[in-house]
Amino acid sequence: MAKEQTEKRMVEAITPRDENFTQWYTDVVLRAELIAYSNVKGFMVYKPAGYAIWERIREHLDRRFKETGVQNVYLPLIIPESLLQKEKDHVEGFAPEVAWVTEGGSEPLTERMCIRPTSETLFCDYYKDAIGSYKDLPQLLNQWCSVVRWEKETRPFLRSREFLWQEGHTAHATAEEAAERTQMMLDLYADCLAEDLAIPTIKGRKTEKEKFAGAKETLALEALMHDGRALQAGTSHNFGDGFAKAYGVQYAGKDNRLHYVHQTSWGMTTRMIGALIMVHGDDSGLVLPPRVAPVQIRIIPIRQKEEGVLDAAESVRQAIVTAYPERKLRVQVDASDRSPGFKYAEQEMRGIPLRIEIGPKDLERGVCVLVRRDTREKEECAIADVASRTDALLATIQKDMYARAKAHLDAHIYDAVTREAFADAFTETKGFVRAMWCGERACEEKIKEELNVTSRCIPAAQEKIADSCICCGREARQLVLWGRAY
């Protein structure tokens, strides 16, 4: 597809968001040039504009991880079958969806190996040798990599056979420390989502049915997309000493006796780019929060061939970049030979948070025009004030985007106390439904079968809104957040 065609298509209207959300999502992904479908079935190409968002997310997470003492490592890409099989629940969960390597260097392997779907087994194998005594604990490691899960149906960012993520794996002397780290990482994810991605979430833990294969407990964040469907946004697992027993990961305590370590793992993936699109996007395309936007400000010159216009645009860029060097603001001038209209449409489609328009008439008056991507509000700004004003506006946009997403989330949580109201809530409204549950897996399965709804989590903030289970009517034990999920 020629760039000329791309230009034209980028400014053509995309499918309206409320008409066909699925099509709108695909339109945004392709026209904002985030992803290309590859010819390797089920695998995607992360294009520059998409990958750059991941680089920003990675920076924020990595900094936050390191502040809690986490260090990065890199472990092998492939796992021998015998190693994968040591933890029974884990292998049952993952074996059906892995890719197997069976030949290497022109010879069949003596044992087949899978491409990592996740690396608990490799970290256990490493910790078994790396940990000797209590002095070696805690181990707080993380790796940035891709994993492969052989999905049948795929969608850009949301589900594909390979995705990018980070996986943290820790080992601790006590169950308490492991529990504390599990919660700490959930909180860290929630903070990053709220502060950097402007995405509010609900904290809770997964039911037995929904928890991670091999985990004692899975904590998770649930986010609400614009169409009312849920997206799991970061999970943090507490393994207790289950993996340690399966893999023989022990340490000599101060008591000179051997003890099993207690482990956690936690991950966040490129799915979060899908969440950014579906939480913040609108009918003109992507809307990115300034903290994760690869380009934060794009300056678009008007009648740029007239004398002084391009120079002025460039000096505005310089003024902004040099005013706050420590923030490393990402500012571009679009000096290409396309019309301002094309340039506006492209800047909007790509979700660049702030646009600065500057033309000969503005120059005469020493002003420029600032246009917010999120609200489309315009304001005139003296060129002398442009650095401080844009800096303040970026902060405002970041804050407002979170506030709007939070208001949307809050307005789409419903309580149901009768089975009828529960079913209606999912047909007549869009969002999360809070309802009581007896704790039996059978009820969870029945609800899924009848309503195509899953338990998203048992929210950390518990409340008793009824006495009986929404499904079977027996005594209720927990408040559960239900939803239809991506």
CB of 130 to a copy of itself, least distance (A): 7
- For residue 453, CA distances in Å to 323, 400, 431 come to 51, 31, 11
User: Which residue spans within 149-303 are E strands per DSSP?
Assistant: 162-172, 202-205, 217-224, 230-240, 250-252, 258-260, 262-269, 297-301
233 is written with which tokens?
């946004």
CB of 15 to a copy of itself, least distance (A): 22
CB of 464 to a copy of itself, least distance (A): 43
Distance CA(315)–CA(310), nearest Å, equals 9
CB of 395 to a copy of itself, least distance (A): 21
CB nearer to a copy of itself: give 207 or 250: 250
CB nearer to a copy of itself: give 36 or 423: 36
CB nearer to a copy of itself: give 72 or 375: 72
Distance CA(33)–CA(36), nearest Å, equals 7
CB of 450 to a copy of itself, least distance (A): 28
CB of 410 to a copy of itself, least distance (A): 36
Buried b (16+ CB within 10 A) or exposed e, 364-387: eeebbbbbbbbeeeeeebebeebb
CB nearer to a copy of itself: give 38 or 462: 38
- The sign of the torsion formed by the CA atoms of 287, 290, 293, 299 equals positive
Q: What is the DSSP letter of 485?
A: B
CB nearer to a copy of itself: give 338 or 477: 338
Distance CA(13)–CA(287), nearest Å, equals 16
CB nearer to a copy of itself: give 325 or 463: 325
Residues that bind a copy of itself (CB under 8 A): 1-5, 36, 38-40, 43-48, 51-52, 54-55, 71-80, 83, 95-106, 112-113, 115, 122, 125-126, 129-130, 132-133, 135-136, 141, 145-146, 148, 150-152, 161-162, 164, 252, 325-326
> Please, how many CA atoms are within 13 Å of residue 358, restricted to the half-sphere of its CB?
30
CB of 75 to a copy of itself, least distance (A): 5
CB nearer to a copy of itself: give 186 or 273: 273
